[in-house]
Amino acid sequence: MFRIGIGHDTHRLAEGRPLILGGVEIESERGAEGHSDADALAHAITDAILGALCEGDIGVHFPDRDPRWKDADSLQLLARVVWLASQSGYRVINVDANVSLERPRLRPHIQEMRERLAHVLSVEANCVSVKAKTGEGLDAVGEGRAVVAQAVVLLGRA
Ligand code: MG
C-alpha cells in the first residue's frame, strides 16, 4: 500500500538571518526568518510526510510558540516525522521538491541538499529530487523577499 503527501512552505527573507535549505547553510546576504532555523525545503518535506500519514501539519507537531523548537535544526524535525511514519509502518520511497529563490543561485548546492535529506529520510540520494527555481523577477520570490518550497512524498509499507 502506498500513501502520497504534498507540502508547501514560504519564509520571508531578511538580513542578518542564515539561509538554510535542505540542511545546507548557503552564503547569502539575506536569510530566512522563522522560529526554527527556517529551512523551507525541510519544512515542505516534513509537511508532505505528515500529509501522507493524515497526521496534521508541521504546526501541530512543532508549534512555533514552543521554545523547544526555537532555532531548531529542521532536519531533526524531519527525522521525527520519518520516525512517526515508521511507527505507522511506512517508509519514504521517494521525494520530489521545488525550491524557489531569486538569489543566490542554488544549483551548486543541490547535490549536498539531496544527500543530507536522503540520509535523514533513510533513502538513497537518487530517491530525493530537488529542483531549483526562481521567480523570474515577479512575485515575492522574484523580488527577493521570500523563499518558497514545495514537495511531494510517496510512502510505502515498511
Ligand atoms: Mg516553515
In angstroms, the first-to-last Cα distance of the chain is 10
Ligand 1 centroid to Cα of residue 95, in Å, is 18
Cβ neighbours for 85, distance < 8 A, ≥ 6 positions apart? 49, 52, 53, 91, 92, 155
Is the pLDDT confidence value at 155 over 90? yes
Ligand 1 centroid to Cα of residue 74, in Å, is 9
Residues in the chain: 158
Ligand 1 centroid to Cα of residue 12, in Å, is 10
Is the pLDDT confidence value at 65 over 90? no
Ligand 1 centroid to Cα of residue 38, in Å, is 6
pLDDT for the residue 68: 84
Ligand 1 centroid to Cα of residue 11, in Å, is 6
Q: Report pLDDT digits (tens) over 18-49.
A: 999 999 999 999 999 998 899 999 999 999 99
pLDDT for the residue 70: 84
Return the domain boundaries, the chain.
2-157
Ligand 1 centroid to Cα of residue 100, in Å, is 14
Q: Report pLDDT digits (tens) over 90-136.
A: 999 999 999 999 999 999 999 999 999 999 999 999 999 999 999 99
Residue 143's pLDDT band (boundaries 50, 70, 90)? very high
- Mean pLDDT calculated for residue range 62-69: 86
pLDDT for the residue 80: 97
Residue 67's pLDDT band (boundaries 50, 70, 90)? confident
Ligand 1 centroid to Cα of residue 23, in Å, is 13
pLDDT for the residue 72: 86
Ligand 1 centroid to Cα of residue 67, in Å, is 15
Ligand 1 centroid to Cα of residue 26, in Å, is 17
Percent of the chain exceeding pLDDT 90 equals 92
Task: Provide the CATH number for the domain formed by 2-157 in this structure.
Answer: 3.30.1330.50
What is this structure's pTM?
0.97
pLDDT for the residue 58: 94
Ligand 1 centroid to Cα of residue 9, in Å, is 5
Angle between helices 110-121 and 40-53 (to 10 degrees): 40
